[in-house]
Amino acid sequence: MPRLFTGIEIPASLQLRLALIGAPLAGARWIKPQNMHITLCFAGDIDNLRADDWAAQLAKIEMPAFDVTIAGLDTFGGRRPRCIWAGIENGEALQRLHLAHLRAARAVGIACDNRRYRPHVTLARLRGGSHAGSVASYLSANAAIRFGSFTATRLVLFSARPGQGGGPYAVEDSYPLQQHWQAHNHDNNHDNNNGNDYDSQP
Specify if 200 maps to a domain. no
The pLDDT of residue 130 is: 56
| CB distance 152 to 66 below 8 Å | yes
Specify if 133 maps to a domain. yes
The pLDDT of residue 7 is: 97
Beta bridge partners of residue 176, listed in sequence order: 154
Judging by beta carbons within 10 Å of its beta carbon (0-12, 13-18, 19+), is residue 189 exposed, middle or buried?
Answer: middle
Specify if 144 maps to a domain. yes
Specify if 175 maps to a domain. yes
Contact partners, residue 24, CB within 8 Å, separation at least 6: none
Query: How many Å apart are CA 32 and CA 55, to the nearest integer?
Result: 27
Residue 63: phi and psi, rounded to 5, are: -165, 145
Judging by beta carbons within 10 Å of its beta carbon (0-12, 13-18, 19+), is residue 25 exposed, middle or buried?
Answer: middle
Specify if 137 maps to a domain. yes
Q: Which residues of the chain have pLDDT under 50?
A: 180-202
Q: pLDDT per residue over 184-202, tens digit each?
A: 343 444 343 333 322 222 3
Beta bridge partners of residue 150, listed in sequence order: 68
The pLDDT of residue 115 is: 79
Q: pLDDT per residue over 19-37, tens digit each?
A: 999 988 888 999 999 999 9
CATH of the domain at 181: 3.90.1140.10
The pLDDT of residue 150 is: 97
* DSSP E strands, the chain: 3-9, 28-30, 37-45, 66-76, 83-89, 120-126, 146-152, 154-160, 170-176
Split into its structural domains, the chain has a count of 1
Judging by beta carbons within 10 Å of its beta carbon (0-12, 13-18, 19+), is residue 163 exposed, middle or buried?
Answer: exposed
Largest CA distance in the chain: 65
Residue 67 has what DSSP assignment? Answer: E
Q: Which of 67, 73, 71, 59 is nearest to 92 (CA)?
A: 67
**Domain extent for 37:** 3-192
Specify if 202 maps to a domain. no
